Amino acid sequence: MIRELWERWQRGLSRNLLARTPPRLRRRVIRNRRLLFFAGFSAFGLVLLLLWWWLFASRWVVTNDAYVTGNLVPVKSQVTGTVVEVRYENTQFVRQGAMLVRLDGLDSRVALEGAEARLGEAVRRVEALFSQVMLDRQRILAQSARLERLRHDLVRYRAVASYGAIPAQQVDDTECQIRELEATVREVEADWQAAEAQIRRTTVESHPQVLEAASALKKAYLDYVRREVQAPVSGFVANRRVQPGDEVHPDTPLMAVVPLDYLWVEANYRERELRRIRPGQSVRISIDLYGHRRRYHGVVEGIGAGTGSVFGLLPPENATGNYIHIVERVPVRIRLSEKEVRANPLRPGLSAVTAIHVSERGISVLESLARFPKEKYEAPFYEQQLGGAEEKIQAIIAANRRHPRASTEGLQERREPSGTQAPAAPSPVQP
């Protein structure tokens, strides 16, 4: 009550004073009051602006040109075939190694059977080479024994021919037989050396012909195994393009697998704002999906090695007369808190607003805190696809071999102690 009366008295007093004041002076008083009010309001706004700059603008660098990103792993066909089965749809979760798409595999099966037949044929050819070497060796020994017997006969014939015990024609015939047999021995030795050159220091398993056929079988086996397209990583299926009945070829994109447990934010800051940004500084992140109700916390992992335009399809060419200066942006990689992402899942491509606490010290811009989770960048099952091929090759080799162990070492045991050299050429017959 008293306060109300006091306010009425003040208003009345002001009106009385204004009423008694001359008009020109009255306008000056009103103008001064307005200027005083405007100056006070401006000073108050300036103080608020200084406080805002001191508490936030000088310590934080903000941008809304930021997006959630992650590994979008493409799934492509490695062989040619017709799709007969698609097992997963978009948004479904798959484990690493799970079969996503199956091709018919008829052509690859026929090619595999042909490769198996060619490997068996190669093993038999190599076995024949080892047998040919042994056969030529025995022929050399047989012809050498016969030649040695004729030489002994010639010595005896010459001893008794001077007494007229045998005709001279028999001595001449024996000499001709020796010369003919010497030529035959040299011919057989040449055949033996040619056959041995094809298997020297090898076994059936290590022979080039068998290795070539085994390599072709491995290729055919891989084509047959790869008719089942597997998931390279664990994640959610996205962008499925393949349909049953489609004819696919190598490098045909089928779908993508997105692991949502390993995401990060890529914020594009203006080049002038990079002066104070360092890896290791803390970041506040808000995602448009959740608004300001959810705030994420992150850490600057590293700064991109170039501006976004440098890695574009058509890099800028500024050495022209129509140059226009454009402020460039550099991507900054920001690590997200795994706990916060599990509590509020994200998706690649979501828009974000990031604020980096640049008053923190951080580390050198040439260093990086980016982690490399090895388990998320490995697909070991691809290296295991040849396991069955090795077993198949050994089974085919064992099934097509006549001898349990054929090699040049085995031939050494059948030769004379003179070594691997062929028998010396027989000396010419002395007349």
With beta carbons less than 8 A apart as the criterion, state whether 297 and 360 touch: no
**pLDDT tens track of the chain, all 431 residues?**
566 655 655 555 455 555 555 666 656 766 777 777 788 888 888 888 777 777 666 788 999 999 999 999 999 999 999 999 999 999 999 999 999 999 998 888 999 999 999 999 999 988 888 888 888 788 888 888 887 887 887 777 777 776 767 777 777 777 787 788 788 878 888 877 777 877 788 888 888 889 999 999 999 999 999 999 999 999 999 999 999 999 999 999 999 999 998 999 999 999 888 888 999 999 999 999 998 888 999 999 999 988 877 777 777 777 766 777 788 899 999 999 989 999 999 999 999 999 999 888 889 888 888 887 777 778 888 888 888 888 899 999 898 887 544 444 444 444 443 333 444 444 444 43
pLDDT at 291: 86
- What pLDDT is stored for residue 419 in this prediction? 38
Length of the chain, in residues: 431
| CA–CA separation, 164 and 174 (whole Å) | 16
- For the stretch 51-58, contacts whose Cβ atoms lie closer than 8 Å and that sit 24 or more positions apart, written own/partner, are 58/359
Pairing of strands 247-248, 93-94: unpaired
pLDDT of 359: 87
Q: How many CA atoms lie less than 13 Å away from 401 in the CB half-sphere?
A: 16
Q: Integer distance in angstroms from the first to the last C-alpha of the chain? A: 162
Q: Model pTM?
A: 0.69
How far, in Å, CA of 121 to CA of 401, rounded? 10
**Alpha carbon 212 to chain centroid, angstroms:** 26
Do the Cβ atoms of 242 and 81 come closer than 8 Å? Answer: no
What architecture (CATH level 2) is domain 263-310+326-377? Beta Barrel (2.40)
CB 68 within 8 A of CB 350: yes
Burial class of residue 356 in the structure, from the number of CB atoms within 10 Å of its CB (0-12 exposed, 13-18 middle, 19+ buried): buried
Q: Looking at the chain, which residues constitute the CATH 2.40.30.170 domain(s)? A: 263-310+326-377
Dihedral angle, C-alpha 411, 414, 416, 420, nearest 10 °: 0
Delimiting residues of CATH 1.10.287 domain(s) in the chain: 107-222+387-414
Residue 405 — φ and ψ, nearest 5°? -150, 100
Measure the CA–CA gap between 153 and 171, rounded to whole angstroms: 9
What is the 3 state secondary structure string of the chain? CHHHHHHHHHHHHHHHHHHHCCHHHHHHHHHHHHHHHHHHHHHHHHHHHHHHHHHHHCCEEEEEEEEEEECCEEEECCCCEEEEEECCCCCCEECCCCEEEEECCHHHHHHHHHHHHHHHHHHHHHHHHHHHHHHHHHHHHHHHHHHHHHHHHHHHHHHHHCCCCCCHHHHHHHHHHHHHHHHHHHHHHHHHHHHHHCCCCCECCCCHHHHHHHHHHHHHHHHHHCCEEECCCCEEEECCCCCCCCEECCCCEEEEEECCCCEEEEEEEEHHHHHHCCCCCEEEEEECCCHHHCEEEEEEEEECCCCCCCCCCCCCCCCCCCCCCCCCEEEEEEEECHHHHHHCCCCCCCEEEEEEECCCCCCCCCCCCCCCCHHHHCCHHHHHCCHHHHHHHHHHHHHCCCCCCCEHHHHHHHCCCCCCCCCCCCCCCCC
For domain 107-222+387-414, the question of CATH label 1.10.287 is answered with yes
pLDDT value for 12: 57
Decide: 327 and 270 in contact? Cβ < 8 Å.
Answer: yes
- How many angstroms separate the CA atoms of 150 and 333, rounded? 93
Please report, as a single letter, which amino acid is at residue 52.
W
- What pLDDT is recorded for position 164? 67
